[in-house]
Each structure stands twice: as C-alpha cells, then as structure tokens.
Amino acid sequence: MIDIHCHILPQIDDGSDSLETSLAMAKALLASGIDEVIATPHLPGLSLVPLKREVIANRYELLSAAIKREGLPLKLHMSAEHNLDPLILQDVASYIVPFGVPGEEALLIELPWTEVAKERLSAMIFELQSLGYTLVLAHPERSPGYSLEWLSERVSAGGFFLQIEASSLGGYYGKKAQTRVRELIDNHLAHLAASDSHDVTMCAEFGATIAALKKELGEKAVKKLLEDNPRALLTGKSADITAI
C-alpha cells in the first residue's frame, strides 16, 4: 500500500524531529502494511524563512540513504504538502515539488481550515491546473467551510481529487470531521486516503486504522484508496481514478 501524505522527512516541519525518528516512522509504516511513501513536508511552511525545494531534496537524500543502509523495503518519493501561499506561483522552481511522471505530475494541496480563502484557492487551482498539474486536496473533512457542493464542482471539472485522512472515519479528528468524512464517502467524493503521520505513534497506529477502514468500507474500497488510486497518480494515469 502507498501512503501519499506523510511528514516523514527529518527536521523540516512539524513532523519527524530527527533522522532516528524518521527511520522509526519508516519501520512503523512497514509494520502497518505500507511499502511506499510520498514524503510531503509543509511547503513553503509556516516559519518566517520559507522552506524551499532544495532543503526538501537534501532531507530526502539523507533519509533515502539511511533507509537503504538499514535495508528497509520502503520506497520513498519526494514531494510536499503545498500551502495556499502566493509564493508558490511566484517561484514555481523553489516552491512546487510535484510527484509522478514528468508531464503528468500531481500536487498535494493543503486546504485551509476556514473558508475565507475560498476565492484565492479557486484562482490558485485554476493557475496550477493551467500549468498541467493534477491536484490532490488534502483532508477536506477537516475544513468544514468548504461545502460538498463546492468540492463536487471542482471534482466534476476534472484533474482534481480528494484525499481523506484514514483516521477521520474512526473519530481521530473529532466528531465534526468524522461526520463530514462519512458525507464525503456517501457522496462519492473520497478518492485517496493517507496517514498524514507526523510522528512514530501515528505511523504505528496506521495498521489498525487501515484494518478498521476495511471493516467499515470493505477491502475493495480500501484497495482503491490506498493502492489503485495512489498508483494511478504515481504513474500518470489519473484519468483512471474514481471515487469509492
């Protein structure tokens, strides 16, 4: 299975605090049944000095080498969780780190918690799609300001997919997110699921979360959320992606 949203790179954001923690996260993900991870640190992030692609590349190389050294059968991809920040479009080379195959790449976009930025987000979605990127919107169930109608419109327009947090259905992010994720699933607006892990505990609990998801949604749906659709993004076949 593939985890497309994970803060596993060391000392770069509010995720892993060291290379040792990153390796422990890698081992916990493997034990949870994940063998492929897309590293997605916040970009440009929330600190005063914006994070740039070159720093992500540095930490990615560092962790990749350590994973190889330890002989862990975990495939690591480099990407980012892009904030809604005008900087992204001002300097694409520094602040956009897509994943997938050239010409068919995908971007993970963090949805703001409130709806105040809705128009800005719509404009940004349009510009990023114009640049040729397939967009994946992270955890819409945690941003109640964005209506199902608004999300549905974007999905219907194409090249735009929704990633739910695997743990939302079990209530990890509270009752509102739990109700909301159920609505997204019932309205066929869930395309991908991820751990969004920030520490070892989250990675270690991912196995149990996946088992609970299978019980609730069935094996076939979980395969789509954690294997088939992530694989389609990585191989430039996003046209094959359908919701559960």
Cβ-count burial 188-226 (b if 16+ within 10 Å, e if not): ebbbbbbbbbbbbebbbbbbebbeebeeebeeebbebbb
Rounded CA gap, 8 and 60, in Å?
9
Determine the interface stretch with Fe ion among 22-30, 31-39, 51-59, 81-89 (rule: CB under 5 A).
81-89
Residues in the interface with Fe ion (CB under 5 A) total 2
Running DSSP on this structure, what letter comes out for residue 187?
T
Tokens of 51: 């994070």
As measured in angstroms, the least distance from the Cβ of 21 to Fe ion is 16
As measured in angstroms, the least distance from the Cβ of 240 to Fe ion is 25
The one-letter amino acid at 28:
A
Q: Which is nearer to Fe ion, 53 or 82 (CB)?
A: 82
As measured in angstroms, the least distance from the Cβ of 44 to Fe ion is 14
As measured in angstroms, the least distance from the Cβ of 14 to Fe ion is 9
By the rule CB under 5 A, 3 interacts with Fe ion:
no
Residue from 13, 105, 196, 205 in contact with Fe ion (CB under 5 A): 196
Q: Which is nearer to Fe ion, 112 or 220 (CB)?
A: 112
Cα distances from 175 to residues 7, 110, 163, 169, 202, in angstroms, run 24, 21, 18, 9, 19
Determine the interface stretch with Fe ion among 69-77, 123-131, 160-168, 196-204 (rule: CB under 5 A).
196-204
Rounded CA gap, 182 and 150, in Å?
17
Rounded CA gap, 211 and 207, in Å?
6
Strand spans (E) along the chain: 2-6, 36-39, 42-43, 75-78, 81-82, 106-110, 134-138, 160-165, 192-194
Determine the interface stretch with Fe ion among 155-163, 193-201, 202-210, 224-232 (rule: CB under 5 A).
193-201
Task: Determine phi and psi for 22, rounding to 5 degrees.
Answer: -60, -40
Running DSSP on this structure, what letter comes out for residue 197?
B
**Site map 145..184 versus Fe ion, x via CB under 5 A:** ----------------------------------------
Q: Which is nearer to Fe ion, 13 or 219 (CB)?
A: 13
Residue from 13, 81, 105, 141 in contact with Fe ion (CB under 5 A): 81
| Interface with Fe ion (CB under 5 A) | 81, 196
